Amino acid sequence: MTGHHRFAVALLLGAGILAAQNQSAPVQAPPVAPPPPASQVQTPQNAQQITPAGRLTGQQAAEMISRCLQLMESTVTVLPNLKGSSVSLLADARAVLQDLQRTPGNSSLTYHFLNDVQAYLQLTDVLPRPADLPQEGQRQLNELHDNFGRLETYFRQLLIAKELQLRSPDRDNVRRYAAANQSLQPATGSRVVFFGDSITDGWRLNEYFPGKDYVNRGISGQVTGEMLGRMKPDVIDLRPKAMILLAGTNDLARDTELKTIENNLIMITELARANNIKVMLCSVLPVSDYHKTENPRFEMSKNHDPQKIRELNQWMQGYCRSGNCTYVDYFSAIVDSAGMMQSDLADDGLHPNAKGYRIMAPVAQKAIDDVVRPAAVAAAPASAPVDKKRGLNPFNKK
């Protein structure tokens, strides 16, 4: 049920209760906190004029959201019929709060929760007020109204921040590796760029592949569309022999359509191939929920659907099989019998730990060995000695 639907249901339900009880006394709604002055609402024009004291921090907003649910639960018996009318709203608000605790600051969930609070407040406004309404109950309803107004302002700030991020001239975070790219030594004939998101970003390549010309260009949190925007500065201009791409988990977490992810991977692959860069596409890693008792946010399967991970991996296998690229199967190396990442390979159920990377490294190296052939030995002078044991000149290229 959408927020607008819940709002309409609340109105109809409240009106029905009023009609059924045939109340003649006028309804006295609790005072509603006035909207914040225009000077306190952050907009692109006045964003720099707002003092930090006038805004909620993410932590303060999270605490206020929890407080709103407490106030809803404590005021539910204050008005006649409020408890029965708000059962579904309270259940939904509890579920949304649990999701928000896993993904703090999520604008979609914040919007969902605010819709629940708004519908609850609308019920309190239309239901009849008893003459002996407890003073504490009235105070809590006033506090709930006030918190709702402040959270609405916080929500607007979230949307504005997202809009400014999307409008940024460096949406894809190209500046992250700009200086490193300038200072990079000329490429060898076996340079490989590791390209991807946080799983690549956190991989200390020098430790797992010592002495190799392997360049890490992972950026935490990125989706395939942002990687596509970084292809030229962070891959093509580095003149590697090959690229090993591990991407897609953040797209899936944002519920991006599989077709969109596939199209981005195809474009990345075609750009690389057009520049004579061989491509290795890595399977999306499995996730697990084994550590959710340590932290509810570690219930990774909720936002990383294991079925969609398998579907995307199957598509990648077929795409690579057609001759476009080489498939690197990390998934099979670290999945357990339940279809989850082995519990000891990631401390949060998503990002490999040192043991996880130790399993992934040889899988990556085997793929690289198959794709990146050693540079041919330069031809020797015609007088080079013949290897009597083999009966041929080892310096002559066959």
Residue 14: per-residue pLDDT? 43
313 compared with 134, residue with greater pLDDT:
313
Q: Do residues 249 and 285 touch, judged by C-beta distance below 8 A?
A: yes
Quick one: CA dihedral 320, 323, 324, 328, positive or negative?
positive
Instruction: Kindly tell me the burial class for residue 201, based on how many C-beta atoms sit within 10 Å of its own C-beta (0-12, 13-18, 19 or more).
Output: middle
Backbone angles phi, psi at 190, to 5 degrees: -130, 25
Which residues, in sequence order, are CB contacts of 2 under 8 Å at separation 6+?
Answer: 115
User: CA nearest 245: which of 207, 199, 288, 206?
Assistant: 199
The pLDDT-based confidence of 398 (bands split at 50, 70, 90) is: very low
Of 27-41, 305-319, 345-359, the range with the lowest mean pLDDT is 27-41
d(CA 367, CA 357): 15
d(CA 108, CA 303): 14
Residue 6: per-residue pLDDT? 47
Mean of per-residue pLDDT scores for the chain? 83
Q: Do residues 289 and 298 touch, judged by C-beta distance below 8 A?
A: yes
Backbone angles phi, psi at 246, to 5 degrees: -120, 105
For the chain, domains (ranges, CATH) are 3-167 (no CATH), 174-371 (3.40.50.1110)
Mean pLDDT across 61-89: 91
Residue 215: per-residue pLDDT? 98
How many C-alpha atoms does 108 have within 13 Å on its Cβ side? 5
Residue 249: per-residue pLDDT? 96
> Which pLDDT tens digit goes with each residue over 343-374?
999 999 999 999 999 999 999 999 999 999 75
Residue 370: per-residue pLDDT? 95
Q: In DSSP terms, which residues pair with 346 in a beta bridge?
A: 352
